[in-house]
Amino acid sequence: MSSRAIQATRSGRTRRGKQTGWLFVAPFMVVLVAMLIVPIGYALYLSLFRDQLIGGNHFVGFANYIQLVQDSKFWSSFLRVLIFLVIQVPVMLILALVAALALDSARLHAAGFFRIAIFLPYAVPGVVAALIWGFIYGPQFGLTGSFNDLLGSDLLKPFTSTWILTSIGNIVTWEFLGYNMIIFFAALRVVPTELYEAASLDGAGSLRTIISIKLPALRGAIVIATIFSIIGSFQLFNEPNLLKTLAPNVIGTFFTPNMYAYNLSFAGQQFNYSATVAIVMGVITAVIAYVVQVRGTRQENR
Partner 1 sequence: MHKRLRTIVGAALTTVAVTAALAGCSSSTGGTGGGGGNADQVDAALKAGGTLTYWSWTPSGAAQVAAFEKAYPKVKVKLVNAGTGNDEYTKLQNAVKAGSGAPDVAQVEYFALPQFALADSLTDLSQYGFDDLKSKYTSGTWGSVDLDGKLYGLPQDSGPMAMFYNKTLFDKYSIAVPKTWDEYIAAAKKLHKADPSAYINSDTGDAGFTTSMIWQAGGRPFKVDGTKVTVNLQDEGTKKWADTWNELVENKLLAQTPGFTDDWYKQLAGGEIATQISGAWFPGVIESGAKGGSGDWAVAPIPTYDGKTAVTAENGGGAQVVMKQSKNQALAAGFVKWLNSSDGSVNTFLASGGFPSTTATLTSSDFLATKPDYFSKQPINEVLKGASDSVASGWQYLPFQVYANSIYADTVGQSYANFSDINTGLKAWQSALVKYGNEQGFTVSAK
Partner 2 sequence: MSALTTPEVIPEERRAGSRSLRKAARRPGPSGYRDKKSLGLTAVMVIFLVYSLVPLFYLLVNSTKSQDSLLASFGLWFGDGFHMFQNIHDVFTYNGGIFLTWFRNTLLYVVVGAGGATLLATLAGYGLAKFRFTGRRAVFAVVLGSIAIPGTALAVPTFLLFSHLGLTNTPWAIILPSLISPFGLYLVWTYAVDAIPEELLEAARIDGAGEIRIFFTIAIRLLTPGIVTVLLFSVVATWNNYFLPLIMLSDPKWYPLTVGLNQWSQQANGVAADPIYNLVVTGSLITIVPIVVVFLLLQRYWQSGLGAGGVKM
Cα–Cα distance for residue pair 226/221, rounded to 1 Å: 8
Cα–Cα distance for residue pair 121/274, rounded to 1 Å: 32
* Residue closer to partner 2, measured from CB, 103 or 164: 103
Cα–Cα distance for residue pair 248/82, rounded to 1 Å: 22
Closest CA to 256 of 239, 275, 276, 270: 239
Full DSSP string of 65-112: HHHHHT-HHHHHHHHHHHHHHHHHHHHHHHHHHHHHHHHHTT--TTHH
Per-residue 3-state assignment (H helix, E strand, C coil) for 159-220: CCCCCHHHHHHHHHHHHHHHHHHHHHHHHHHCCCHHHHHHHHHCCCCHHHHHHHHHHHHHHH
In the complex, the smallest distance separating the C-beta of residue 70 from partner 2, rounded to whole angstroms, is 21
Please choose which of partner 2, partner 1, none residue 49 contacts, taking the beta carbon within 5 to 8 angstroms, the exact cut-off set by kind.
none
Of 79, 189, 248, 294, the one binding partner 2 (CB under 8 A) is 189
Cα–Cα distance for residue pair 299/301, rounded to 1 Å: 5
Q: Does 265 bind partner 2 (CB under 8 A)?
A: yes
Q: Does 167 bind partner 2 (CB under 8 A)?
A: no
In the complex, the smallest distance separating the C-beta of residue 12 from partner 2, rounded to whole angstroms, is 5
Closest CA to 64 of 74, 53, 54: 74
Q: Does 43 bind partner 2 (CB under 8 A)?
A: yes
Evaluate whether 273 touches 264 at the Cβ level (below 8 Å). yes
For partner 2, how many residues bind (rule: CB under 8 A)? 137
In the complex, the smallest distance separating the C-beta of residue 277 from partner 2, rounded to whole angstroms, is 8
At residue 248, φ and ψ (nearest 5 deg) are -60, -35
Please choose which of partner 1, partner 2, none residue 16 contacts, taking the beta carbon within 5 to 8 angstroms, the exact cut-off set by kind.
partner 2
CA dihedral sign, ordered 7, 12, 13, 18: negative
Please choose which of partner 2, partner 1, none residue 20 contacts, taking the beta carbon within 5 to 8 angstroms, the exact cut-off set by kind.
partner 2
Q: Considering only 23-31, 53-61, 86-94, 150-158, which stretch makes contact with partner 2 by CB under 8 A? A: 23-31
* Residue closer to partner 1, measured from CB, 46 or 89: 46
In the complex, the smallest distance separating the C-beta of residue 161 from partner 2, rounded to whole angstroms, is 23
Please choose which of partner 1, partner 2, none residue 48 contacts, taking the beta carbon within 5 to 8 angstroms, the exact cut-off set by kind.
none
| Residues of the shown chain interacting with partner 1 in the complex, contacts defined by CB under 8 A | 52-57, 134-135, 138-142, 145, 161, 245-250, 252-254, 263, 266-271
Per-residue CA distances from 282 to 35, 276, 289 (Å): 15, 10, 10
* Residue closer to partner 1, measured from CB, 110 or 267: 267
In the complex, the smallest distance separating the C-beta of residue 111 from partner 2, rounded to whole angstroms, is 8
Please choose which of partner 1, partner 2, none residue 147 contacts, taking the beta carbon within 5 to 8 angstroms, the exact cut-off set by kind.
none
Please choose which of partner 2, partner 1, none residue 206 contacts, taking the beta carbon within 5 to 8 angstroms, the exact cut-off set by kind.
partner 2
Q: Considering only 53-61, 65-73, 154-162, 273-281, which stretch makes contact with partner 2 by CB under 8 A? A: 273-281
Please choose which of partner 1, partner 2, none residue 19 contacts, taking the beta carbon within 5 to 8 angstroms, the exact cut-off set by kind.
partner 2
Please choose which of partner 2, partner 1, none residue 156 contacts, taking the beta carbon within 5 to 8 angstroms, the exact cut-off set by kind.
none
